[in-house]
Amino acid sequence: MHGLQPESIAALAPYRLSSKPYSVSALQRFAVCPYQFLLAAIYRLEPRPDLQPLERIDPLTRGSLFHEVQAELLRELWQRRAVPITHDNLDGTEAALDGVVDRVAARYREALAPAIDRVWSDEIEALRIDLKGWLQNLAEEGADWMPTHAEFGFGFRGGDGRDEKSVPQPVTLDGRWLLHGVVDLIETETDDA
């Protein structure tokens, strides 16, 4: 921190990578534009939401839906001891997926209040198709890989849809940089692989 006054150094100290955990996304933002990082990660400013009628589900909301469905489905399958997902149990897994998609879509539908019902229905069906493709890929892997955690947080406690085994401690890289985040899916190679 060459050329900075001691007061400036002291004011910036709580925001150093060694003092405060940041998400990987925030660090990517810093690499692209340090000013955007300052506004978002330090000042916590966000772009004003664009209040227009829903004609499509925006990518961020679609991603949230996708991850929430994945996590809920996997938790349901773990509870029923229906993992790993294979071709033998794919039909039952797809039926469970349909139920989870319907429940999650109903929760989001209330919050979003789409202007056009058909748009919402079409977007949810497209999401359902993508999720069934994901299940098909898991079945192709067969019993070689076992999903073990969904929405696993580090630097966060469990709750808010995160894996119950999430850890509150951030990850320390190179002995000094603190990171926090959420990994959408962790799989473990099985002994059969």
Q: Crossing angle for the helix pair 117-141 and 59-79, nearest 10 degrees? A: 50
Interval 23-59: pLDDT, tens: 888 888 888 888 888 888 888 888 776 655 556 788 8
pLDDT at 42: 85
- Predicted confidence band at 189 (pLDDT cuts at 50, 70, 90)? confident
Which range (70-79, 88-97, 123-132, 170-179) has the least confidence? 170-179
Q: What is the residue-averaged pLDDT of the chain?
A: 86
pLDDT at 5: 87
Kind plus residue range of the DSSP H or E element containing 17: none
Which one has a higher pLDDT value, 109 or 51?
109
Q: Are 114 and 65 in contact (CB under 8 A)?
A: no
- Predicted confidence band at 1 (pLDDT cuts at 50, 70, 90)? low
Q: Are 138 and 85 in contact (CB under 8 A)?
A: yes
pLDDT at 127: 96
Backbone angles phi, psi at 98, to 5 degrees: -55, -45
Q: Are 193 and 144 in contact (CB under 8 A)?
A: yes
Three-state SS annotation for 60-104: HHHHHHHHHHHHHHHHHHHHCCCCCCCHHHHHHHHHHHHHHHHHH
pTM exceeds 0.85 for this model: no
